Amino acid sequence: MAQKESLKEVFKNDFLIGTALNSFQIQQKDTAANRLVLQHFNAITPENSMKATHLHPQWDKYNFTLSDQLVAYGRQHNIKINGHTLIWHSQLPAYVKNLNNADSLKQYMKDHISTLAGHYKGKVFSWDVVNEALEGDGSLRKSIFLKLLGDDYIIDAFRLTQQAAPDAELYYNDYNIEGLTKRRAAIALIKKIQAAGVRIDGIGVQGHWAAVHVPLADIEQSIQEFSALGIKVMFTELDLTVLPSPYKRDVVDVSQRTLPNTPATNPWPNGLPDFKQAELSKSYEDLFKLFLKYKDKIGRITFWGVHDGQSWLNNFPIAGRTNYPLLFDRSYQPKPAFYAVIATHHR
């Protein structure tokens, strides 16, 4: 099969194909990655440049430089931009984390959302309005937003974004929400937003899974149940780790980074063996078969990174490992998994 085939072209009548861009790629300093982005992707998400610690470092100071470059790049090349993310408990600047009264935090949230979403009004296709607000047990995360503002801060965040960016699609984004416990909690959350008369257009299922066991039945059930709420389903941060998990359960909490790098936890520093390459390909093939089955309900599939060398999974949950979770390798070449994904559409 010709290497020239393009993901965005193959799936152009099904769903958007997206990728996450880091700062070098946004500045177009990574020319090899830039070629892949233009060839294969029609949606982009910034890895970090729109997060509060980068973009809103002081109470009255915003730094739009990098995110403006991202938006200009997307608009120049007719690539849809997903803003990531407005309200998240992590990567908050110190002045926010140290707040201790509700009025100040409410003012921060209002200023942050109205300034950011307003700055990109008409330019950003969609926003991850609230990110990772649920705990593993389905309760609301004990974030500073919950502690100071109470349960309704999520509704308020969507309301503020709707006012500031009336033409943008508004999403809730989280990990492990394909699983039963968090799925039920996410459904309840969406229904609560809808009942308040506030718009929510979609939900982002992050898709940080292990190639050795992708939870296909849970994913299918989540597509059915989320779409039944009248919203789009997105898979927003897709990557499939091939390395052994040091945990006894799935962990995607970015604060959990305390384990040593050993040959047992980093078994393939110099290349992925054929049997793991085949496992990765089969898992991506199975996933995209499922995505195509529900293409009328899915708005976007976004890979969390352009190529393996960029992936956050090289450093999470153990720093310095060599992971291989994406469709393009460290030399920017398509892997067998790429061709497996393409082939799902040709069958």
Assess whether 132 carries a catalytic annotation.
yes
Query: Contact, 284 vs 337, CB < 8 A?
Result: yes
Tokens of residue 130, six digits: 């609230």
Encoded amino acid at 213, one letter: H
Query: What is the distance in angstroms between the CA of the first residue and the CA of the last residue of the chain?
Result: 13
CA neighbor of 142 nearest in space, from 259, 55, 253: 253
CA torsion through residues 9, 30, 307, 171, sign? negative
User: Which listed residue (178, 237, 279, 285) is catalytic?
Assistant: 237
User: Which listed residue (47, 132, 169, 178) is catalytic?
Assistant: 132
Query: Contact, 313 vs 276, CB < 8 A?
Result: no
Residue with tokens 């010709």: 2
DSSP state at residue 21: E
Backbone φ and ψ of 153, nearest 5°: -60, -30
CA torsion through residues 113, 118, 124, 125, sign? positive
Residues whose CB is less than 8 angstroms from the CB of residue 81 and which lie 6 or more positions away in sequence, other chains included: 43, 44, 45, 70, 71, 74, 75, 120, 123, 124, 125, 126
Helices assigned H by DSSP within the chain? 7-10, 23-26, 31-40, 52-55, 65-76, 94-97, 102-119, 144-149, 153-164, 180-195, 216-227, 274-293, 336-346
- d(C-alpha 121, C-alpha 124), whole Å: 7
Q: Which of the residues are catalytic?
A: 132, 237
